[in-house]
Chains A and B, each alone.
Chain A
């Protein structure tokens, strides 16, 4: 395994690092500490910059107009893009664009016309509706939202919880049970327009994370045409599972980026701060915190890059992605916690980003599959069919 960056990787990463430091960090001086958006003038200006860097729409496949970037480089960029206050849930405030819902690249031509291309042009937004009040960790069994065929339509009833962005979306992917006897083979993915009668965003779900909030959805006799099925009837779980696995790598990368930034701030701070006549940096307890941070960061980074490399090679990366998600979210939490400790009172004040990172990092051990589920996935991969 090669452990050095290519010249091209080094250049692209350097460009994004400068962008974060010169364009994003200065904006955050004036923003509310919990902000997840910048004003439209700044956004337009910065989008022009990312376009001129050739890095807009990073997750869009090249055949749809996105830049040609391998997954390892993409992961390293995600690490860079999260190194600011809002970086965990709003990296660079979305100025690098997004692919929307990657599952739509596998849609029919008519579905692409109606949903994918407008999303890539920034005209539509989508949401991903999988988790339910009955549980998010085991979606195959927890899904109780039901879809029943009626002529050329499907009638959907049920609810979803922890769904981000549904209140602003024009459409979403909704997973519903279409065969109650078949477990994971009885789930279908529907593309749902949010102006469909019976579609309701019932409330904002308030959590530790105030930015990029989640919502609760309810579907009442919501009729969706058969042609809005993404993929095939009863084959929706594979779509969900693929997304869950892929999402674990950028999810881990964001945690690593924040941990790197927190560690950098601590390294700057401890030589300046004195207690009992000596700089904090001379105290062994502080040095060991920095050492433990560094080890946490490096371990997480290498495991996450290995997962990205396997995914790039087209190999099965389920185990590595689960390990990356598990290790990076837990390590990120420890790093931010230690940095808060080194900063003392300032560490818990909203003047500095640690308190926001601390709150948001705690969610990371639960979101996209909690640590316990990641361990279960890893064990299943190790033990094979005997655990399935």
Chain B
């Protein structure tokens, strides 16, 4: 089982019709599919992934694609995705604020 988020990238315009109000994690990418933001829709999100992604795609104007994973364990999964990004690129996604996390070395 891969621990990376490997769902297909979906254009934001199309995603709005497919997203539901579930809890989960997501990645936003620019037009070249570079990850620019990792986020989660937690229990404080009014309409889960649907509203969280809609709101953040306005904030991050270069966001073109999104992919997501529905999970009630969004809290630990979000942290895992951030640590994986740090391992892969030695930095946080450019639109995420720096946070205090541990480190993974998955391979």
A98 nearest CB across to chain B (Å): 17
Q: How far is A64 from B101 in the complex, measured between Cα atoms in Å?
A: 29
B66 nearest CB across to chain A (Å): 21
B79 nearest CB across to chain A (Å): 7
Q: How far is A35 from B75 in the complex, measured between Cα atoms in Å?
A: 7
Closest to A356 in B: B43
Which residues of B (75-99) have their CB < 8 Å from a CB of A? 75-77, 79-80, 83
Q: How far is A213 from B74 in the complex, measured between Cα atoms in Å?
A: 12
Which residues of A (120-176) have their CB < 8 Å from a CB of B? 165-169
Q: Of A183-191, A195-203, A304-312, A369-377, which binds chain B?
A: A195-203
Q: Is B42 interfacial (CB-CB < 8 Å)?
A: yes
A203 touches B3 (CB 8 A): yes
Q: Is B104 interfacial (CB-CB < 8 Å)?
A: yes
Q: Is A231 interfacial (CB-CB < 8 Å)?
A: no
Of the candidates A36, A169, A204, A350, the one whose C-beta lies within 8 Å of that of B80 is A204
Q: Is A206 interfacial (CB-CB < 8 Å)?
A: yes
B104 touches A206 (CB 8 A): no
Q: Is A210 interfacial (CB-CB < 8 Å)?
A: yes
B42 touches A32 (CB 8 A): yes
A206 touches B102 (CB 8 A): no
A213 touches B76 (CB 8 A): yes
Closest to A351 in B: B43
Q: How far is A169 from B73 in the complex, measured between Cα atoms in Å?
A: 23
Q: Is A67 interfacial (CB-CB < 8 Å)?
A: no
Q: Is B103 interfacial (CB-CB < 8 Å)?
A: yes
Q: How far is A35 from B43 in the complex, measured between Cα atoms in Å?
A: 11
Of the candidates B42, B105, B106, the one whose C-beta lies within 8 Å of that of A34 is B42
Select the residue from B74, B76, B77 with max chain A CB neighbours within 10 A. Answer: B76
Q: Is B44 interfacial (CB-CB < 8 Å)?
A: yes
Closest to A218 in B: B105
B73 touches A210 (CB 8 A): yes
Q: Is A33 interfacial (CB-CB < 8 Å)?
A: yes
Q: Is A239 interfacial (CB-CB < 8 Å)?
A: no
Chain B interface size, as a band, is 20 to 34
B90 nearest CB across to chain A (Å): 16
Q: Is A211 interfacial (CB-CB < 8 Å)?
A: yes
B104 touches A34 (CB 8 A): no
B6 nearest CB across to chain A (Å): 15
Give how many A residues have a beta carbon under 8 Å from the other chain's beta carbons.
Answer: 23
B75 touches A210 (CB 8 A): yes
Q: How far is A350 from B42 in the complex, measured between Cα atoms in Å?
A: 10
A211 touches B103 (CB 8 A): no
B105 touches A350 (CB 8 A): no
Of the candidates A36, A165, A169, A202, the one whose C-beta lies within 8 Å of that of B104 is A202
A197 nearest CB across to chain B (Å): 11
B44 touches A32 (CB 8 A): yes
B50-89 to A contact mask, C-beta < 8 Å, 1/0: 0000000000000000000001111111011001000000
A35 nearest CB across to chain B (Å): 7
* Residues of chain B lying within 8 A (CB to CB) of residue A200: 105
Q: How far is A211 from B42 in the complex, measured between Cα atoms in Å?
A: 13
Closest to B71 in A: A206
Q: How far is A350 from B101 in the complex, measured between Cα atoms in Å?
A: 25
* Residues of chain A lying within 8 A (CB to CB) of residue B106: 202-203
A167 touches B74 (CB 8 A): no
B80 nearest CB across to chain A (Å): 4
A210 touches B104 (CB 8 A): no
A33 touches B42 (CB 8 A): yes
Select the residue from B44, B79, B102, B106 with max chain A CB neighbours within 10 A. Answer: B102
Given contacts A167-B83, A203-B80, A204-B80, contact A32 B102 (CB under 8 A): no
- Which residues of A pack against B, CB within 8 Å? 32-36, 165-169, 200-204, 206-207, 210-211, 213, 215, 350-351
- Which residues of B pack against A, CB within 8 Å? 3, 42-44, 71-77, 79-80, 83, 101-106
Top 7 nearest A-B pairs (CB, nearest first) are: A167-B102, A350-B43, A168-B102, A210-B75, A34-B75, A213-B76, A204-B80
Beyond A168-B101, A168-B102, A204-B3, 9 additional pairs, beta carbon < 8 A: A32-B42, A201-B104, A204-B76, A204-B77, A204-B80, A210-B75, A210-B77, A213-B79, A351-B43
